């Protein structure tokens, strides 16, 4: 997905949360200082294959078999730790550096790609952690317009960004584990972010002509929420 396609949804997200675009652009520009180009063709072995998108909900521990059966595993945030603790290799981690940046840094040193995201609220983490990553294995991302080596394959939260990245590089089928849009033990801000993650995955589902089981029972309300935007 190019930014021109993503931009109307991005603007709707900014408006809904009251976020400033300038803050995201500042974070992106900070990331540019530390990032090096990452050729997405390096992920060409994802093309046409089954890619598991692992979220970090508590259900993840009971759904590990989904990851074991996939060709490629992309883990959002702490899902990487849960999977690795259970002997499941992670082929990519997607993170905005807010929970387990140590894991992300270690993965890059092991030769595992990490999509490290810069946004308006995490500039200190970007400054602290990107220099600690192995630059060869770091894909710096933004939700604003891409600039230099910092790319925007689409998405908003770690989990849906993982799905958009897989789609961007040609994944054949997406499967999902560790997702719970209704998990009660989250604060209101996190609940709203989960709602947007569901909307974005519905958009992606429609673009791909695919059906994601985690959206069953939600499509009508998600389509209604997307209708004014798309």
Residue-wise pLDDT for 197-214, tens only, equals 999 999 999 999 999 999
Question: Residue ranges of the domains in the chain?
Answer: 3-185
Answer yes or no: are the C-beta atoms of 225 and 5 closer than 8 Å.
no
Distance between CA atoms of residues 189 and 194, nearest Å: 9
What pLDDT is recorded for position 39? 98
Distance between CA atoms of residues 27 and 140, nearest Å: 11
Instruction: Give backbone dihedrals phi and psi of 2, rounded to 5 degrees, phi first.
Output: -90, 165
What token pair was written down for 45? 């072995």
DSSP 58: G
Distance between CA atoms of residues 197 and 192, nearest Å: 9
Question: For the chain, what is the mean pLDDT?
Answer: 97
Whole-angstrom CA distances from 14 to 24, 194, 208, 217 are 10, 15, 25, 27
Residues of the chain with pLDDT under 70: none
DSSP 213: G
Among candidates 217, 203, 214, which has minimal Cα distance to 177?
A: 214
Answer yes or no: are the C-beta atoms of 49 and 67 closer than 8 Å.
no
DSSP 61: G
What pLDDT is recorded for position 184? 85
Q: What is the dihedral of CA 2, 230, 161, 145, to 10 degrees?
A: 40
Among candidates 17, 212, 41, 30, which has minimal Cα distance to 117?
A: 30
∠185-190-196 over CA atoms, to 5°? Answer: 125
Q: Give the SS3 label for residue 159.
A: helix
What pLDDT is recorded for position 47? 98
Distance between CA atoms of residues 100 and 115, nearest Å: 13
User: From the DSSP assignment, how many helices (H) and strands (E) are in the chain?
Assistant: 9, 6
What pLDDT is recorded for position 63? 98
What pLDDT is recorded for position 183? 85
Answer yes or no: are the C-beta atoms of 119 and 13 closer than 8 Å.
no
């Amino acid at each position: 997905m190019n930014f021109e396609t993503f931009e109307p949804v991005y603007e709707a997200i900014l408006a809904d949360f009251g976020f400033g675009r300038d803050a995201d652009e500042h974070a992106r520009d900070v990331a540019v200082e530390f990032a090096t180009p990452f050729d997405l063709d390096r992920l060409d072995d994802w093309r046409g294959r089954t890619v598991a998108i692992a979220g970090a909900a508590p259900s993840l521990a009971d759904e590990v078999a989904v990851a074991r059966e996939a060709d490629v595993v992309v883990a959002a945030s702490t899902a990487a730790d849960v999977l690795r603790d259970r002997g499941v290799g992670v082929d990519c981690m997607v993170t905005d550096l807010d929970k387990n940046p140590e894991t992300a840094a270690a993965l890059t040193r092991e030769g595992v790609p990490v999509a490290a995201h810069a946004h308006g609220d995490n500039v200190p983490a970007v400054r602290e952690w990107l220099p600690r990553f192995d630059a060869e294995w770091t894909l710096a991302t933004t939700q604003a317009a891409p600039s230099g080596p910092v790319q925007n394959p689409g998405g908003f939260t770690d989990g849906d960004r993982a799905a958009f990245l897989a789609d961007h590089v040609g994944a054949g089928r997406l499967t999902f584990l560790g997702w719970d849009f209704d998990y009660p033990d989250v604060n209101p801000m996190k609940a709203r972010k989960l709602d947007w993650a569901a909307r974005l995955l519905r958009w992606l589902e429609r673009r791909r002509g695919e059906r994601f089981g985690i959206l069953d029972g939600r499509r009508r309300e998600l389509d209604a929420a997307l209708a004014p935007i798309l």
